[in-house]
Amino acid sequence: MSATRSLVTGVGGYLPAEIVTNDDLAQTVDTSDAWIQERTGIRQRRRAAKDEATSDLAVEAARRALAAAGRTPADLDLIIVATTTPDLTFPATAAIVQRKLGAPVGVAFDVQAVCSGFVYALAVADGFVARGQSRCALVIGAEIMTRLLDYQDRTTCVLFGDGAGAFVLEPGAGQGTKADRGLLATALRCDGTKQDLLYVDGGPSTSGAVGHLRMAGQQVFRHAVVNIAEAVRAAADAAGVDMAEVDWFIPHQANQRILQGVAHRLGIEESRVVSTVAEHANTSAASIPLALDAAMADGRIGPGALLILEAMGGGLTWGAATLRL
Contacting residues toward ligand UT7, per CB under 6 A = 31, 35-36, 39-40, 115, 154-155, 158, 198, 217-218, 220-221, 224, 254-255, 258, 282, 312-313
Least separation in angstroms between residue 90's CB and ligand UT7 is 25
* Catalytic residue (choose from 22, 227, 255, 282): 282
227 is catalytic: no
Q: Which C-beta is closer to ligand UT7: that of 98 or that of 282?
A: 282
* Residue facing ligand UT7 at closest CB distance: 217
Structural contact between residues 160 and 145, judged by C-beta atoms closer than 8 angstroms:
yes
CA angle, residues 213, 110, 255, in degrees to nearest 5: 40
State the catalytic residue, choosing from 212, 223, 252, 280: 252
Count of C-beta atoms within a 10 Å radius of residue 75: 17
Contacts of 310 (CB under 8 A, 6+ apart): 119, 228, 231, 232, 235, 249, 250, 251, 252, 262, 318, 319, 320, 321
Coil, strand or helix at 96: helix
**For ligand UT7, which is the closer residue by CB, 9 or 255?**
255
Nearest distance, CB of residue 44 and ligand UT7, angstroms: 14
Closest distance of CB 217 from ligand UT7, Å: 3
| Catalytic (active site) residue 282 | yes
Mention every residue, 6+ apart, whose C-beta is less than 8 A from residue 287: 115, 118, 141, 163, 165, 252, 253, 254, 276, 280, 311
- State the nearest-atom distance from the C-beta of 116 to ligand UT7, in Å: 9
Q: Are strands 213-215 and 198-200 parallel, antiparallel or unpaired?
A: antiparallel
Q: Which residue among 22, 115, 136, 227 is the active-site one? A: 115
Active site residue 115: yes
Give 215's strand partners: 198
Nearer to ligand UT7, 134 or 275 (CB): 275
**For residues 255 and 276, which CB has a smaller minimum distance to ligand UT7 in the complex?**
255
CB–CB of 28/133 below 8 Å? no
CB 312 → ligand UT7: shortest distance, Å? 5
CB-nearer residue toward ligand UT7: 79 or 115? 115
Bridge partners for 311 per DSSP: 319
**β-bridge mates for residue 174, sequence order:** 3
Report whether the peptide linkage leading into residue 316 is cis, meaning its omega lies within 30 degrees of zero: yes
Chain-centre distance for alpha carbon 203: 22
Catalytic residues: 115, 252, 282
